[in-house]
A and B are shown apart, each in its own frame.
Chain A
Amino acid sequence: MTTENLFELKNVAKLFTKGKETISIFEGLNMHIKKGDFMAIMGPSGSGKTTLLNLLGGVDQPSSGEISFDGQRIDNLSESQLAKWRANNIGFIFQFYNLMPMLNAAKNVELPLLLTNLSSSERKKQVATALELVGLSDRAKHMPSEMSGGQQQRVAIARAVVSDPTFLLCDEPTGDLDRQTADEILEMLQLLNSKFGKTIVMVTHDPSAAKYATHTVHLNKGKFVKAEELLV
């Protein structure tokens, strides 16, 4: 196993059972993600992009096959081991920001740090750093409802990086934003990748968003395909 691969998926299958019906999303899926990658995943709705992110993020588990992260198998971890693993290694960024509405920006950003042994003052310091990184130091005390979509997504990015994970997962992070705001967010992700060495996988529908990534893969009906094949 080469250590430069952060993720390695071998022969991964994912089935969903709905009542009597069984739907196969992936079958024999192989994939690897290099350290320092900024990978964009594109593909039509229902092609399995979110399901793939869930598998990478340890939120869901494959029906069969192996998933390794940094040389360690994660497909056979228990629910509680996975939770700890997520807290230590993954930052999540969602389409609809998913901030806690009753917490202000700073308290939202602090959430992942509640899972660490940091003291209250150390947590505050790290929150301030993360908010500064996304340019929202002056909004620390604002509630999500008092912020624009772009600002909320920047709070979400601060929350994703506050505990300094190596890997960021973004599911359509600009899907709910206008062009200009989307570009700001994408520039920020690009910066996190190039300057802070974060490995990023981003699902997007937007071809111009994919341009910010170092490379793009296309998913169709649970299989990686060439871009041209999708257009047909």
Chain B
Amino acid sequence: MKDFYLIYKNLTRKKMRLFLTTFAIFIAFLIFGAIMTLRSALNSGIEMSADNRLVVMHKISFTNPLPYAYVNKVKAMDGVKDVTHANWFGGYFQEPTNQVVTMAVDPESYLSVYPELVVEPEQLENWTKDQSGILIGERIAKANNWQIGDRIPLSSNIFSQKTGGQTWDFTVDGIFKGNDAKVDTGYALIHYKYFNETQAWGGDSIGWLILTTTDPALNEQVSKAIDENFANSNSETKTSTEQAFNKAFIDQIGNIGLIIFGVVFMAFFTILIVVGNTMVLAIRERTNEIAVLKTLGFESSRIFKMVLVESCLLAFLGGLFGIGGAYLIVQGAAKEMARFLPNLILDEAIFGQALIYMLVLGLITGIAPAISALRLNIVTAFSRG
């Protein structure tokens, strides 16, 4: 495009104005990128939860353990398909700040309840056979640069070994992936049996149960039946769908999300007015120059395009910096918040959405001045000047 130099010179002719408008757009897209990532992370938990999966916890709190015997009792109930269980190991690598979320599970049943976790058959077989083996999620593997065969010591901030110390040595036998990019792979799995035998507290207890129903329509009925079954026992239960479980947790943050979402739109609205106004002023200042270009033989439609390209360039300049800044912030935050918000990723979808918004911003802020440039009459423009 031969006119690009001209457009570029117009865009950059007032450095301070360019800086301020770019900065305003930068801020808007910084907020946009960060908030949209947060929102998608919050939603992914709900989206990804299977609709026939139920979670059974101790009625008082999920930190209270349940007896192991519940596994078989629940398995025998009507409408229940598969049952598995998990214990919170906690876990960190070398430093308490370097968290590795780890759960002690029964390999076979756990993976049948969570079919979205994908493991190579060979790796799965090795892990199933290896009592002190660990199956790590892809994200954990990448974050720590761990490979199959690595021996990694994990420390628990809750449990101690019978032989003393709080650190267990595990061998990485496999790495699980998700069957969808949004599946959380930011945790690791160890053998419940091995954990139970080696930890100092003893007692066959489990953290919580996860089960699938034969039909999502039975969810409510099955939950009720389980909780009634264990009512008046030492360990009463509270059963909810995984979706409800995730949603209850997220709703608390979700409302805040809605408010922040409003803020994003306020920010965009303000930017639209600020940038739009700047563009109108910029083009009005150039009335005489546009008339000269037209006199020289530049067609109106060409000048129309030049103005639109300029406003879009401005939007993309600020927008790309903004989304880039958001990406860096998200990268930083993702490490800190991996435990609560595993899916804090500014992914292609959000980036694509941002690009569309940049284009829209550029077109909206450029259209009015572009039309006035299109319509500008040479004779009247010169007689005014």
Q: Answer yes or no: are A and B bound together in one complex.
A: yes
A115 and B378 form a contact (CB under 8 A): no
User: In the complex, what distance in Å separates the CA atom of A92 from the CA atom of B2?
Assistant: 22
Alpha-carbon distance A54/B297, docked complex (angstroms): 13
Q: Provide the B1-27 mask, 1 if CB < 8 A to any CB of A, else 0.
A: 011011001101100000000000000
Residues of A within 8 A of B3 (CB): 114
Residue contact B9 to A103, C-beta cutoff 8 Å? yes
Are the C-beta atoms of A59 and B379 separated by less than 8 Å?
yes
Q: Which of B122-130, B262-270, B288-296, B361-369 contacts A (4 or more CB under 8 A)?
A: B288-296
CB pair A107–B297 under 8 Å, yes or no, is no
Residue of B nearest to A61 (CB): B379
Q: Is A179 an interface residue (CB 8 A)?
A: no
- Across the interface, B292 reaches (CB within 8 A) one of A100, A114, A115, namely A100
B13–A57 contact, CB under 8 A?
Answer: no
Cβ A59 vs Cβ B6 within 8 A = no
Cα distance A85–B296 in the bound complex, in angstroms: 10
Q: In chain A, residues 33-89, which have Cβ atoms closer than 8 Å to a Cβ of chain B? A: 50, 54, 57, 59-60, 79-80, 83-88
Q: How far is the CA of A84 from the CA of B300 in the complex (A)?
A: 11
Q: Is the interface of B mostly helix, strand, loop or mixed?
A: helix
Q: How far is the CB of B296 from chain A (nearest CB, A)?
A: 5
Are the CB atoms of A92 and B9 closer together than 8 Å? Answer: no
Residue numbers in B under 8 Å from A114 (CB-CB) = 2-3, 6, 298
Are the CB atoms of B378 and A60 closer together than 8 Å? yes
Question: Which A residues fall within an 8 A CB radius of B?
Answer: 50, 54, 57, 59-60, 79-80, 83-88, 92, 94, 98, 100-103, 107, 111-112, 114-115, 159
Cα(A159)–Cα(B289), bound, Å: 14
A60 and B379 contact, Cβ closer than 8 Å, known pairs A98-B292, A107-B5, A114-B2: yes
Closest to A120 in B: B2
A103 to B296, CA, bound (A): 16
- Cα of A102 to Cα of B298 in the assembled complex, Å: 18
Residues of A within 8 A of B12 (CB): 102
Q: At the interface, yes or no: B299 with Cβ under 8 Å from chain A? A: yes
The closest CB in chain A to the CB of B3 belongs to A114
Given the known inter-chain contacts A59-B378, A60-B378, please indicate yes or no for A102 contacting B293, CB distance below 8 A. Answer: no
* Given known contacts A54-B379, A86-B295, A79 and B9 CB-to-CB distance under 8 angstroms: no
Find out whether the CB atom of A102 lies under 8 angstroms from the CB atom of B297.
no
How many Å from the CB of A151 to the closest CB on chain B?
Answer: 18
Task: Kindly identify, within residues 199 to 218 of chain B, every residue whose CB is under 8 Å from any CB belonging to chain A.
Answer: none
Interchain CB contact (< 8 A) of B296 among A54, A79, A107, A115: A115
| Given A54-B379, A60-B378, A114-B2; A83-B292 close (CB under 8 Å) | no
Nearest CB of B to A138, in Å: 22
Task: Write out the residue numbers on chain B whose beta carbons fall within 8 Å of the beta carbon of A103.
Answer: 6, 9
B295 touches A57 (CB 8 A): yes
In the assembly, what is the distance between CA of A56 and CA of B323, in Å? 53
Scan B286-316; emit 1 where CB is below 8 A from any A CB, else 0: 0011001111111111000000000000000
Name A111's closest neighbour in chain B (CB-CB).
B296
Contact with A100, one of B289, B299, B379, B382 (Cβ below 8 angstroms): B289
B299 lies within 8 A of A102 (CB): no
A112/B297 contact (C-beta < 8 A), A59-B379, A100-B292, A107-B5 known: yes
